[in-house]
Amino acid sequence: MSVQQFDVVIVGAGFAGMYLLHRLRPLGISARVVEAGTDVGGTWYWNRYPGARVDIESMQYSYQFDEALQQEWRWTEKYAPQPELLKYARHVADRFDLRRDIQFETRIASAVYDARAQRWALTAEDGSAFDAQFVVMATGCLSKPNWPHIDGIGSFAGQIYHTAMWPRETVDFTGQRVAVIGTGSSGIQSIPVIAEKAKQLTVFQRTANYAIPAHNCPLDKDYEEWVKGHYAEFRAQAKQTPPGIYGRFRVGKALEATPEERQAEYEERWKAGGLAFMGAYGDLMLSKEANDTAAEFVRSKIREIVDDPATAESLCPKNIIGGKRLCVDTNYYATYNKPHVRLVDVRDKPIEAITPTGVRAHGEDFEVDALVFATGFDAMTGALTAVDIRGKEDASLRERWADGPISYLGLAMADFPNLFTVTGPGSPSVFTNMIPTIEQHVDWITDCLAWMQDRNYTAIEAEHDAERAWWEHHQEVATVGIKTTTDSWYLGANVHGKARVFMPYYGGFPDYCRKCEEVVADGYAGFAFG
């Protein structure tokens, strides 16, 4: 196969890869997006499990780079379902004629830097080869599926699914006995929908999770009109909040409010629904005692909703609220009131084995026709280390990150010149509204390439000192408060053998953007150019 040459190879055709391609075109930079799937959409291409939908309100979860696009697109629901999100991604690809520069069904396996030529050689699993001056890994934070280590996992004779690799054809569970392993966001969204069809549903829960009702509904036309009439203002205000989300965030302290005031505040937020629940007070993630007040409120709701007291108790999370990613649900807890749905708590007694006919736990054989793994992702680093990336002097990213990742601003790594990551470890990424954050990263990378073009620079590399300083700051910020006291995928705790290092930047979107702007104003401080 001949080697295809470009100025930039972008890995991944999700929202990051698509927008970067669009931004590079006016600069006259030749770019090719290489995508493993058969279509655009990234997360929303792969995660098509029943019930998948965004947990940020649709009116905010969209691009803002093109006013006509944000005015013309119409979401139908408060929280868009996966098919509509995929339709949106396809619409963007068509509207901006992106497909002609995207190579689908091509999974990049390695990227090797030639320091003399200052170029990257990329090879795909199918043998396709690319030569590029720059590589941008737009591979997403949650894209490498995590399969648990359970004995006999390959022996199951029925249908086996992973929520993050859901088949494109419709899966019909009608009349089937189904088991779901995992109760994170994917499990919590899919369980109620699977229960509607399955004859019998058994859920294996290792850690109970907090879920706030979505109260999803058709999108209110007046609200849509109001947002569209004020989009610039709306987006600008969102950027000023720590998660980059427009909403009501209170700075007051839960512990300074009376029990009645707290109850009223939590009740109002429960009724409004969604992730904004955690915006009730500014100290919820700073003090365990404050956190307990919100956690206990949600536990009381679970006890109210779930009829069987023993099941309700199992569903009540014991860890802090917000330590793991908060879930947003539709009928999750109520699903356990259905007579054909059973919860099996495997916290103290883990699943013993997967057998040819089902799951063995608590000494019991649960025979099922289909097995759904809702067991999440090798988050933040998994999609990057899945590619054998080798920088200067054959430095391997996989080996460099064996004890945990290190990156400058989640954008670039020392010893890996001309390589950028969009929302890499050390970026606020998953703590924010992903699409606007992606736009900020892509704008930064594009502006940097244009700046280099103007100065005839051919190589850029993060400096070790700058990388270390950012990482130390990032780790310091992570230890403020109680966020890191819970095992989570933020810490890599969900993946067998993975180093425990807190990966997303916890300092908030405004501080992160300020830092990126300062770096630019200072002539790209912390980067060396060649």
Helix (H) or strand (E) holding 269: helix 259-272
Which residue, 64 or 429, has its beta carbon nearer to ligand N01? Answer: 429
User: Are the beta carbons of 426 and 503 closer than 8 angstroms?
Assistant: yes
Which residue, 119 or 325, has its beta carbon nearer to ligand N01? Answer: 325
Q: Tokens 């199992």 correspond to what residue?
A: 314
Which residue, 148 or 152, has its beta carbon nearer to ligand N01? Answer: 148
Tokens at 436, concatenated: 């606007």
Does residue 204 touch ligand N01 according to CB under 6 A? yes
Does residue 344 touch ligand N01 according to CB under 6 A? no
Q: 9-28 mask for ligand N01 (x: CB under 6 A)?
A: --------------------
DSSP-derived 3-state class of residue 343: strand
Does residue 282 touch ligand N01 according to CB under 6 A? no
User: Are the beta carbons of 156 and 355 closer than 8 angstroms?
Assistant: yes
Query: How many angstroms separate the CA atoms of 168 and 47, rounded?
Result: 10
Q: Which of 285, 380, 397, 430 binds ligand N01 (CB under 6 A)?
A: 430
Q: Tokens 């950028």 correspond to what residue?
A: 420
> Which runs of consecutive H residues, i.e. helices, occur in 365-523?
382-385, 397-400, 434-454, 464-478, 509-521
Q: Per CB under 6 A, which region of 175-183, 215-223, 298-306, 308-316 contacts ligand N01?
A: 175-183
Does residue 184 touch ligand N01 according to CB under 6 A? yes
Which residue, 391 or 410, has its beta carbon nearer to ligand N01? Answer: 410
Does residue 77 touch ligand N01 according to CB under 6 A? no
Burial class, 511, CB count within 10 angstroms (exposed 0-12 / middle 13-18 / buried 19+): middle
Q: How far is the CB of 397 from ligand N01 (least distance, A)?
A: 23
Q: How far is the CB of 408 from ligand N01 (least distance, A)?
A: 24
Q: Per CB under 6 A, which region of 90-98, 296-304, 370-378, 477-485 contacts ligand N01?
A: 370-378
Q: What are phi and psi of 159, to 5 degrees?
A: -80, 135
Q: How far is the CB of 444 from ligand N01 (least distance, A)?
A: 23
Q: Tokens 């849509």 correspond to what residue?
A: 224
Of residues 319 through 338, those in contact with ligand N01 by CB under 6 A are 325, 328
Q: Using the CB atoms, write b or e for 111-128: b if 16+ within 10 Å.
A: bebeeeeebbbbbbeeeb
Which residue, 56 or 238, has its beta carbon nearer to ligand N01? Answer: 56
Does residue 407 touch ligand N01 according to CB under 6 A? no
Burial class, 463, CB count within 10 angstroms (exposed 0-12 / middle 13-18 / buried 19+): middle
Which residue, 293 or 432, has its beta carbon nearer to ligand N01? Answer: 432
User: Are the beta carbons of 189 and 216 closer than 8 angstroms?
Assistant: no
Q: How far is the CB of 375 from ligand N01 (least distance, A)?
A: 4
Which residue, 130 or 336, has its beta carbon nearer to ligand N01? Answer: 336
- Half-sphere exposure at residue 395, Cβ-oriented, CA atoms within 13 angstroms: 12
Q: Which of 20, 21, 54, 302 binds ligand N01 (CB under 6 A)?
A: 54
Does residue 495 touch ligand N01 according to CB under 6 A? no
Q: Which of 17, 42, 182, 322 binds ligand N01 (CB under 6 A)?
A: 182
Q: How far is the CB of 457 from ligand N01 (least distance, A)?
A: 37
User: Are the beta carbons of 356 and 331 closer than 8 angstroms?
Assistant: no
Angle of the 82-95 helix axis to the 15-24 helix axis, nearest 10: 10
Torsion of the alpha carbons at 358, 360, 366 and 368, rounded to the nearest 10: -10
Q: Which of 60, 139, 176, 189 binds ligand N01 (CB under 6 A)?
A: 189
Of residues 106 through 165, those in contact with ligand N01 by CB under 6 A are 142, 148, 150, 163
Q: Per CB under 6 A, which region of 94-102, 229-237, 375-383, 518-526 contacts ligand N01?
A: 375-383
Does residue 376 touch ligand N01 according to CB under 6 A? yes
Does residue 352 touch ligand N01 according to CB under 6 A? no
Q: Per CB under 6 A, which region of 4-12, 90-98, 372-380, 433-441 contacts ligand N01?
A: 372-380
Residues in the chain: 530
Q: Per CB under 6 A, which region of 270-278, 373-381, 460-468, 512-520 contacts ligand N01?
A: 373-381
The residue count for binding ligand N01 (CB under 6 A) is 28
Single-letter amino acid code for the residue at 144 = K
Q: 508-527 mask for ligand N01 (x: CB under 6 A)?
A: --------------------
Burial class, 77, CB count within 10 angstroms (exposed 0-12 / middle 13-18 / buried 19+): middle
Q: How far is CA 522 from the centre of its chain?
A: 31
Beta-strand ranges (E) seen in 208-249 are 211-213
Give the single-character DSSP code of 81: B
Q: Beta 200-205 vs 341-345: how paired, if at all?
A: parallel
Which residue, 55 or 296, has its beta carbon nearer to ligand N01? Answer: 55
DSSP-derived 3-state class of residue 6: strand
Does residue 58 touch ligand N01 according to CB under 6 A? no
Q: How far is CA 48 from the centre of its chain?
A: 14
Q: Which residues contact ligand N01 (rule: CB under 6 A)?
A: 54-55, 142, 148, 150, 163, 181-187, 189, 204, 206-207, 325, 328, 346, 351, 374-377, 430, 489, 494
